Structure 1
Amino acid sequence: MTTSTGRTGPDGVDLLTVGEALVSLRSPGPLAQGGPLTMHLAGAESNVAIGLARLGHRAAWVGRVSDDELGEFVLRQLRAEGVDVDAVRRDADRPTGLMFLERRTADVSRVRYHRAGSAGSALDVEDLRAPLAAGPRMLHLTGITPALSDSARDAAAWAVRTAAEAGIPVCLDVNYRAGLWTREDARSTLTPLAGYASVVVASADELDLVATAGADEAGAVAGLLARGVRTVLVKLGADGARAHTADGATYVEAVPVTAVDTVGAGDAFTAGYLSGHLDGLDLVDRLRRAVTLGAFAVAGDGDWEGLPRRDELTLITGSAAGTTLR
């Protein structure tokens, strides 16, 4: 049984994002040795929604959560960050998915998921009809959602097709998770979805999941642009990022910071780019905002906790390392 959290859907939001939010239990050391766990909100799509909301945009997240304390925790966290969750459904029959993250060394963290049969994996088309009909300025989803279940895959396909037909730009972040499906299965599902997107986001090793198998970056980009994608963003981590459009390739360097925790950096990058898009910035400035948010993400602990407010965007680009602002 599912119930709605309130109204029928977010009206006039800047960004509607669809996916599964998780409860993340973090350990500062090996899980097998026990020790304290701290409770956090996690999920690629909810990370993006928070990143947009912190920059002053109206962001809505849609998915399913359990009808218990863990589901309430997810919703309270998102509401506290200004994210619209009015269309989220509470599922009394399924649990909220869990993610365990252990810090194994200063440079390596390891993740374990307990999400099989979760509320988020039961996402279906009916969950998305009202929020998409409300007319968001942009739809965002990742390759994680269609990997969760058959119904979630169908919902993702319906959403990108319906948005594109309504003239709503679609952003697809490939976000491949090897623990959820094979590259072959991902390619067969994500390549058709990419044809409805105006923006495709991928790391260099993910591009062939939305293009011909084995295609290099130039070949994958050419194929995507030929299919109607307007911008292909290639995340290069500490080396920055490239954006490909019909006018050619544009590159920006990463913002140099001391890396603390890389989890959520790709989602922060996407949030920064979409914020720049919504603000009407040119391509270079969109990319600069994208790498700036990525830098904020890796410079602090947590998936999204260190993301900036709008008046903080220059904190790490305009200050020397080790600066204390008084």
Structure 2
Amino acid sequence: MDVVTLGESMVLFVPEFSGSLRYSEKFERKLGGAESNVAIALARLGHDVGWVSKLGNDDLGLYIRNIIRGEGVDTSQVIFDDNYPTGVFFKEIVNGRDPNVYYYRNNSAASTLSHADIDNTYFQQAKYLHLTGITVALSASCKHALKQAIKLAKNDNDKYVVFDPNIRLKLLSEKEAKRELTEIAKDCDIVMPGLDEGKILTGENEPEGIARFFLERGSTLVIVKLGADGAYFATAEENGFVPGVPVKNIIDTVGAGDGFAAGVISGLLREWNYFDAVSLGNKIGAYALSVKGDFEGYPYWEEVNPKTNIKKITR
């Protein structure tokens, strides 16, 4: 197993036309979830990936499982719960701006995920563990499940834990996010915040300061996402800016950060150097911008396989 990721996925309803939801009458049903986005993107890039979560034992839960499984992701660790429903959310399309998102996830099946639901053997198979701050914010039991997954990975020196803070201010205040997510980040090998997230978590305003904050607390690689400007990466030995990939017609920004994470992990699995791994992340994220939906725009490996030789790193 190359990567295991853990977190909630929900059914997403997208209106047929842009504008206020109160005037929207027709919706398209889709899948949304940061961790499953990463899993799907990695599977399309040719990796062996598993997604761990809980879903309601309902038709919406089956829909989510079937979509993710159909993309080539292992869903054998997904638990169906008879007592709690599958979460849903709505996207309000506003032309020229990021969409407004409305979540209905209180008491969802995924929010009841706990350390007791973690199969130790399954997590120990993976080379990389991918996690986000969304799971931390869902409930105390979800936070414990995430910590258990990190503990299992850290007990094995050849495994890497990747953490995307993915701050949701509808779930955590800025003060709570700083306290909770920096605590998680110190136990993770790779941390990849967006610039605004990094400012919230560290109090630093520049990518270099944000990276230094996490490196000093134990991370080995920090990547700060800079949107259209690309990304900045830093380790104890090297650092650099990686230019973004221009996108002429941006349709939907949701899912771009998850595609970025998948591209970086894919490059690292291939033992590419950090610059090239982050470049792949920028490329996968850019693909997501041109399509309505969270994961639909992610490319397959044959679409992005570089023709030039990639320098590998020794770790």
TM-score for both structures, normalised by structure 1: 0.88
> Is residue 219 of structure 1 aligned with residue 209 of structure 2?
yes
Q: 1:136 aligns with which of 101, 126, 129?
A: 126
Would the aligned equivalents of 1:15 and 1:58 in 2 still touch at CA under 8 Å? yes
Cα deviation digits, residues 78-110 of structure 1 (max 9, x gap): 011001000110011111110101213243421
% identical equivalent positions = 38
Instruction: Return the alpha-carbon distance in structure 2 between the equivalents of residues 17 and 147 of structure 1.
Output: 16
Output aligned runs, 1:12-27, within 5 Å: 13-27=1-15
SS in 2 for 1:90: strand
Q: Name the CA shift for 1:290/1:57 in 2 (closer, same or farther; >3 Å).
A: same
Residue number in structure 1 paired with 2:47: 57
Instruction: Return the alpha-carbon distance in structure 2 between the equivalents of residues 53 and 285 of structure 1.
Output: 19
SS in 2 for 1:144: helix
Residue number in structure 1 paired with 2:310: none
Would the aligned equivalents of 1:187 and 1:208 in 2 still touch at CA under 8 Å? no
Instruction: Return the alpha-carbon distance in structure 1 between the equivalents of residues 178 and 287 of structure 2.
Output: 31
Would the aligned equivalents of 2:52 and 2:78 in 1 still touch at CA under 8 Å? yes
Instruction: Return the alpha-carbon distance in structure 1 between the equivalents of residues 23 and 146 of structure 2.
Output: 39
Q: How many angstroms does 1:156 deviate by? A: 1.3
> Is residue 41 of structure 1 aligned with residue 31 of structure 2?
yes
Would the aligned equivalents of 2:211 and 2:223 in 1 still touch at CA under 8 Å? no
Instruction: Return the alpha-carbon distance in structure 2 between the equivalents of residues 56 and 266 of structure 1.
Output: 19
Residue number in structure 1 paired with 2:80: 90
Cα deviation digits, residues 47-77 of structure 1 (max 9, x gap): 0000000001011110100101000000000
Q: 1:290 aligns with which of 263, 270, 281?
A: 281
Q: How many angstroms does 1:314 deviate by? A: 6.2
Would the aligned equivalents of 2:12 and 2:31 in 1 still touch at CA under 8 Å? yes
TM-score for both structures, normalised by structure 2: 0.91
- Unaligned 5+ residue runs, structure 2? 307-315
Q: How many angstroms does 1:266 deviate by? A: 0.5
Would the aligned equivalents of 2:45 and 2:299 in 1 still touch at CA under 8 Å? yes
Q: Name the CA shift for 1:38/1:116 in 2 (closer, same or farther; >3 Å).
A: same
Residue number in structure 2 paired with 1:183: 174
- Give the letter aligned to residue 12 of structure 2: S
Residue number in structure 2 paired with 1:231: 221
SS in 2 for 1:202: coil
Cα deviation digits, residues 183-236 of structure 1 (max 9, x gap): 11112111121111110010112125554x457543332232123211100101
Residue number in structure 2 paired with 1:245: 235
- Give the letter aligned to residue 174 of structure 2: R
- Give the letter aligned to residue 23 of structure 1: V
Q: How many angstroms does 1:291 deviate by? A: 0.4
Task: Give the count of matched residue pairs.
Answer: 302
Instruction: Return the alpha-carbon distance in structure 2 between the equivalents of residues 183 and 108 of structure 1.
Output: 20
Q: How many angstroms does 1:271 deviate by? A: 0.5
> Is residue 202 of structure 1 aligned with residue 180 of structure 2?
no
Q: 1:171 aligns with which of 162, 166, 169?
A: 162
Instruction: Return the alpha-carbon distance in structure 2 between the equivalents of residues 60 and 209 of structure 1.
Output: 31
Instruction: Return the alpha-carbon distance in structure 2 between the equivalents of residues 104 and 125 of structure 1.
Output: 39
Q: Name the CA shift for 1:177/1:84 in 2 (closer, same or farther; >3 Å).
A: same
Residue number in structure 2 paired with 1:319: none
SS in 2 for 1:234: strand
Would the aligned equivalents of 1:273 and 1:286 in 2 still touch at CA under 8 Å? yes
Q: 2:22 aligns with which of 16, 32, 35?
A: 32
SS in 1 for 2:246: coil
Instruction: Return the alpha-carbon distance in structure 2 between the equivalents of residues 200 and 88 of structure 1.
Output: 26
Instruction: Return the alpha-carbon distance in structure 1 between the equivalents of residues 95 and 199 of structure 2.
Output: 31
Q: Name the CA shift for 1:281/1:71 in 2 (closer, same or farther; >3 Å).
A: same
Residue number in structure 1 paired with 2:312: none
Per mean C-alpha deviation after superposition, the further-off stretch among 236-245 and 151-160 is 151-160
Instruction: Return the alpha-carbon distance in structure 2 between the equivalents of residues 288 and 215 of structure 1.
Output: 23
Would the aligned equivalents of 1:241 and 1:251 in 2 still touch at CA under 8 Å? yes
- Unaligned 5+ residue runs, structure 1? 1-12, 316-326
Instruction: Return the alpha-carbon distance in structure 2 between the equivalents of residues 128 and 172 of structure 1.
Output: 18
Would the aligned equivalents of 2:120 and 2:152 in 1 still touch at CA under 8 Å? no
Q: 2:254 aligns with which of 254, 263, 268?
A: 263
- Give the letter aligned to residue 78 of structure 2: V
